């Protein structure tokens, strides 16, 4: 298994996830603004999920960049991450169509949480096979940022049934936290 093909396949899946999410915004049959209005929450949900997917794509790149060899465990840890990310169009659509109601917001958080866990597992699988002195190990260490995200998502899931809007606020906060460029890997590589 070469690193390039793992990257190409992951890129393909992520590119399709991003683009397919737009299909949840159903084209209305009327040419009036009224007809577009109900799509607005789906659009907001799409923006969040788009940023979410780009962040994963970006970080995924950094992580795979440090890999020297790919084994079966890394391949499956990567597939596991893609699995959870592939559910994004579904939960994003459900959350948007139901105007950020509690249960859809909760399910969105569960998928975000599991994606975060899967990402963490992928990192640790790579570190385990590349050794504690590997680039990735030195760059992310215990990946505090990843752990914090998972904790925040857990809280968001926990309170979604009562305060779905606070959960949404947490999702946005985690996204912003990741938007701030993460130079750990880049710096270590240099």
Contact residues: a second copy, CB under 8 A = 1-2, 5, 7-9, 11-20, 22-25, 27-33, 36, 47, 50, 54, 57-58, 61-62, 65, 71-72, 75-76, 79, 82-83, 86-87, 89-90, 93-94, 97-99, 101-104, 107, 179, 181
Closest CB to a second copy among residues 103, 151: 103
Nearer to a second copy, 146 or 151 (CB): 146
- Residue 170 CB, shortest distance to a second copy, in Å, is 19
Question: Shortest distance, CB of residue 98 to a second copy, whole angstroms?
Answer: 4
Placement of tokens 């959350």 in the chain: 95
| Min dist. Cβ of residue 116 to a second copy (A) | 19
The CB-of-178 to a second copy minimum distance in angstroms stands at: 11
Closest distance between a second copy and the C-beta of residue 185, in Å? 10
Q: Which is nearer to a second copy, 104 or 116 (CB)?
A: 104
When the beta carbons of 87 and 124 are compared against a second copy, the nearer one is 87
Give the DSSP per-residue string, the chain: --HHHHHHHHHHHHHHHHHHHGGGSPPPSS-SHHHHGGGHHHHHHHHHHHHHHHHHHHHHHHHHHT-S---HHHHHHHHHHHHHHHTHHHHHHHHHHTTT-HHHHHHHHHHHHHHHHHHHHHHHHHHHHH-TTSHHHHHHTT-HHHHHHHHHHHHHHHHTTT-HHHHHHHHHHHHHHHHS---HHHHHH-
Nearer to a second copy, 108 or 120 (CB): 108
Q: How far apart are CA 58 and CA 135, in angstroms?
A: 17
């Amino acid at each position: 298994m070469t690193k390039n093909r793992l990257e190409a396949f992951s890129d393909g899946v992520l590119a399709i996830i991003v683009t397919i999410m737009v299909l949840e915004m159903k084209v209305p049959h009327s040419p009036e603004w009224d007809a577009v209005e109900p799509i607005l929450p789906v659009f907001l949900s799409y923006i969040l999920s788009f940023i979410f997917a780009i962040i994963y794509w970006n970080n995924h790149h950094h992580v795979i960049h440090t890999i020297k060899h790919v084994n079966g465990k890394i391949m499956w840890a990567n597939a596991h991450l893609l699995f959870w990310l592939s559910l994004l169009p579904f939960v994003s659509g459900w959350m948007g169509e139901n105007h950020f109601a509690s249960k859809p917001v909760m399910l969105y958080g569960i998928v975000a949480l599991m994606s975060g866990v899967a990402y963490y597992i992928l990192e640790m699988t790579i570190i385990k096979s590349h050794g504690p002195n590997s680039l990735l190990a030195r760059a992310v260490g215990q990946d505090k940022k990843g752990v914090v995200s998972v904790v925040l998502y857990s809280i968001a899931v926990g309170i979604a049934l009562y305060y779905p809007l606070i959960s949404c606020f947490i999702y946005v906060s985690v996204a912003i936290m990741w938007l701030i460029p993460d130079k750990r890997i880049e710096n270590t590589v240099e």
